[in-house]
Structure 1
Amino acid sequence: MKENISVSKAINRGQLMINLPVFISMLGVPGLALFLSNKGIIPSWGIGIGFLIGILLAWLIWSFLITKWKVWAFENVRNVHELKRKAIRDKLIWPDDSIFNKTEIWSFSDKEKWNRLQRKFNNEDVLKEDQSIPPKTEIFYSKFNFIEMAIMLVAAGFGVYLIINDQLVYGVIATVLGGYLAYKEYLQATNSEVQIYIDSKGMRTINTDFKSWSEIRDEQVIFRQSGKHRRAYLSYEFDHGFEELLIDNYNTTPKKLESLMQTYKARYKKSKRF
């Protein structure tokens, strides 16, 4: 057991090893059925059968390959807690309580290895420090909101154009909605208040008072689906409460924010050892 594979490398390998064959199956089988139907080799209702076979085959492929990846990844990665959290976040594996886990196909030897690997979860992850990160970090709203504001103003202007050309209903909707969203983006772009503050002692947000790293638990960036949009949130627990803050419009990225939290917490633990 070398444990020399990074979490990101293990996740990337999983995406190629599992999601690519699943994607090919879901598109390839129906595509083949459509081709055969157009050639008159199978009846048109065979296309529907092709879609069904494609889905079932894709699920069978996932059920078999996911167990192979889990044994390899959790055997070769040191930070198994981080790996599990990010694999769930990236929809590579399901949460523990998901019924879909029951469809995994395990060989006897892989199941034995997996049971032995569970002991690794008794150890805390090793936090890595990024030396390029400054002693403290302040995160604000992104100035990119000015660009979004300009887009909304164009939409409002188009609404005025529709009103002038007797498209009253659509014009009013576009003008009011565009104007409201432009004003909202303006407020965020001109907001100079610190939204998230992090250093080697702890962290605070616009909603939550400063908490020491000794109080903070399970800090991570999570993603939630909202319609067609995937939104990123800073999430962590602390004594007598928790925080979940939308970070989509901030001047940071989910990956950068996770690196910041890992580095500052590593520095905090290092300071306590001396």
Structure 2
Amino acid sequence: MTPDKAVSRGVLVVNGSVMLVMFGLPSLVYAAVLLLGVDSSSAATVAVLAFMVCWPLAWLTWSLLVPRWRLWAYSRVEDIDELKAYGVAAGLIWREGHLFERTEIRTPDQRRRLRELEQAWAARRP
């Protein structure tokens, strides 16, 4: 698989899920509050509060999904460095060493497997 296709799929799955959590849930809350008969300004206030709760949930979603995407993509592309460059350019991942990259939540098994895949790539890197 080419790095740009892997990143496109990651943007769709990871960033799409993040957007659903960040904007979809507050929209559903707004609609539900309106259906309960509350006036629209109060419903908007509740939606804003829901957004404030959903923003950290969206970050958590990203933090959990990105390591899964990395494992999936690393095992399917030829050039991991190119994949990372495309991922950063697309806003899917942060550049290596960035503070926010450290917010990825990886299980010990994911850490081990990612390390193995990166070492295998480093060994055959041109």
The question of a shared fold, defined as TM-score above 0.5 by the shorter chain, is answered with yes
TM band (smaller chain):
0.7 to 0.9
Inter-CA distance 41–114: structure 2 relative to 1 (3 Å threshold) = farther
CA distances 1:16-41 after superposition (whole Å, capped 9, x unpaired): 22011111111111102211332347
SS of alignment partner, residue 76 of structure 1: coil
CA distances 1:118-152 after superposition (whole Å, capped 9, x unpaired): 21134335xxxxxxxxxxxxxxxxxxxxxxxxxxx
Deviation at 1:76, TM superposition (A): 1.6
CA distances 1:44-74 after superposition (whole Å, capped 9, x unpaired): 4422221112212211111001000011111
Contact 1:22 1:59 in 2 (8 A): yes
Inter-CA distance 113–49: structure 2 relative to 1 (3 Å threshold) = same
Length-normalised TM-score, structure 1: 0.41
Deviation beyond 6 Å, 4+ runs, structure 1: none
Contact 2:71 2:114 in 1 (8 A): yes
> 1:217-228 to 2 correspondence within 5 Å?
none
Contact 1:74 1:117 in 2 (8 A): yes
Partner of 2:9: 13
Partner of 2:59: 59
Q: Relative to total residues, which structure has the larger helix share, 1 or 2?
A: 2
Q: Distance in 2 between matches of 1:121 and 1:40?
A: 58
Higher relative contact order (CA 8 A, sep 6+): 2
Q: Distance in 2 between matches of 1:16 and 1:47?
A: 25
Gaps (5+ residues) in structure 1?
126-274
Partner of 2:99: 99
Query: Quick check: 1:37 aligned with 2:33?
Result: yes
Length-normalised TM-score, structure 2: 0.84
Q: How many residues align?
A: 121
1:121 maps to a residue whose letter is A
Q: Distance in 2 between matches of 1:98 and 1:114?
A: 17
Gaps (5+ residues) in structure 2?
none
Q: Distance in 2 between matches of 1:51 and 1:81?
A: 35
Root-mean-square deviation over aligned CA pairs: 1.9
SS of alignment partner, residue 17 of structure 1: helix
Contact 1:29 1:53 in 2 (8 A): no
Partner of 1:85: 85
Q: Distance in 2 between matches of 1:6 and 1:102?
A: 26
Partner of 1:47: 47
Inter-CA distance 41–101: structure 2 relative to 1 (3 Å threshold) = farther
Q: Percent identity?
A: 28
CA distances 1:150-195 after superposition (whole Å, capped 9, x unpaired): xxxxxxxxxxxxxxxxxxxxxxxxxxxxxxxxxxxxxxxxxxxxxx
